[in-house]
Amino acid sequence: MKQIFESFCIAFSTYSVIPMPNVKWTESNRRYSLIFFPFVGVIIGIALGVFYLFYERLNLTNIIFAALATAIPVWLTGGIHIDGFCDTCDARASHKSMEQKLLILKDPGVGAFAVIKCILYFLLMFSAFAFVSEQGIYAMCFVFVISRVLSALSVIHLKCAKTSSMAAGFKHAADKKQVTAVLCIELAAVILIMCIFFRPYFEIIFCCSALVFLYYERISTKEFGGITGDLAGYFLSLCELVSLWGILLLERWILL
């Protein structure tokens, strides 16, 4: 039980800004950490859903809602995944060799391409949040869980790049069979809930997530020789953006 609690603390202290007891990292207490990674997405989804309820009651404008909805995931995660997104954008935009791209991922500095694409990312998130319907917002709350389940599964099952440290550390420490089984149960629970309550959105979200995952697997293997923590963050950020736009386009082209 202590090991599971420490795994929970490590997951939340690493991937969120929620205060947790200080736990010394060991291989044994990281064994189940990835199981709890999607629960950070649950917190983000709940925060977004609750904020939307207050937004409706306070009669705020769409612009204010979109700005704060874009900020909520970054605020609750401390920007760890956006950091990976930026590093990956810099590395890919360099068009250099695999070894040099991996070095760029390790560079703590931020390049011009990262800044440009980060601005574009937030503009696209903001503009989509401004026009998605109430039902679409609630469906989007589940995307934060789906993206983290898929990201965790990629760490367990995809090859790590030779310079990977954080992703490789979680991969080697994990009890792969048990972690995979629990992550699949979490994903199945999300699928069941969405099939019951958000059927029009279920198909588009999973199509978007699957396509982004295949794209992530391809570029990770081809351009970096495997995944890293930064690439996992890149996937997670892109998955959420593409899914949100999938929801918006579904509403504009099909549901309306």
The full DSSP string for 93-107 is HHT--HHHHHHHHH-
Percent of the chain whose pLDDT exceeds 90: 69
User: Quick one: pLDDT at residue 247?
Assistant: 96
Q: What is the pLDDT of residues 154-204, one digit of tens each?
A: 999 999 888 777 887 888 877 889 999 999 999 999 999 999 999 889 999
First and final CA of the chain: distance in angstroms? 50
Name the band, by pLDDT with cuts 50, 70 and 90, for residue 256. Answer: low
Write down the pTM of the prediction. 0.94
For residues 150 and 106, the model is more confident at 150
- Which of the four pLDDT bands, split at 50, 70 and 90, describes residue 17? very high
Residue 218 pLDDT: 96
d(CA 14, CA 34): 11
